[in-house]
Amino acid sequence: MATLRAAKRALRREIKQRVAALSRDERLRQSLVVSHKLFKHPKYVSSQRIAVFLSMDDEPCTQEIIKDIFKCGKSCFIPKYDSSSSHMDMLRTNSLQDIQTLPRTSWSIQQPAADDDSREEALSSGGLDLILMPGLGFDLVGRRLGRGKGFYDTYLERCSQHPKGKPYTIALAFNEQLCQEVPVDVHDVLIDEILYEEL
């Protein structure tokens, strides 16, 4: 276990350095390539209820994807993290403006306020068709290196209990986040597909 943790820590450091070396323009360019691949993806086209992360600087930018979800009349759910545990909910948002007015957490991520209980939680209603997954690193068989808090693994576990079953998962990645092999344990859930710019 300790060896696995150390391997993950070392890999996180290495990937963070690779991504940090990318210029802002290059990050934006790769983000657009990945977004356009997603827009043509049959799973995205057929999905109505989509969960998407609000990207941080070291992740592919999801702004265009969020705009497209609303433009296509799909339902957009975003994560609300509870930083004191590994609990996360996916809450419905109504528009790009709605998202832009959300408060920021201590991690500088925008999310609905703690006392905002007016929003639909995906699993308390119709479930999700598709989850767009963040992560620090990925390998091509679907293993994912998260930030170590277990939010998504725990949430996917809850999804599998929903009558609709586990949604399809697509990770969005910069090429610099791809690894030969990501070390995982039994709690790490595999991703169905990784989208990146194939060179």
Is 126 annotated as contributing to ligand binding?
Answer: no
146 is in an annotated binding site: yes
Known binding residue 49? Answer is no
Q: Determine whether the annotation assigns residue 59 to a binding site.
A: yes
Determine whether the annotation assigns residue 190 to a binding site: no
Q: Are the C-beta atoms of 151 and 83 separated by less than 8 Å?
A: no
18 is in an annotated binding site: no
Q: Is residue 147 part of an annotated ligand binding site?
A: yes
Annotation-wise, does 145 bind a ligand? yes
Residues whose CB is less than 8 angstroms from the CB of residue 186 and which lie 6 or more positions away in sequence, other chains included: none
SS3 76: strand
Give the CA distances from residue 83 to residues 50, 86, 150, in Å, rounded to whole numbers and listed in that order: 23, 7, 11
Q: Computed over its alpha carbons, how large is the radius of gyration of the chain? A: 16
Find out whether 148 is annotated in a ligand binding site. yes
Question: Is 9 known as a binding-site position?
Answer: yes
Distance CA 184, CA 88 (A): 21
Report the binding-site residues.
8-12, 54, 59, 144-152
Residues making up the binding site for ATP: 8-12, 144-152
Binding residues for substrate: 54, 59
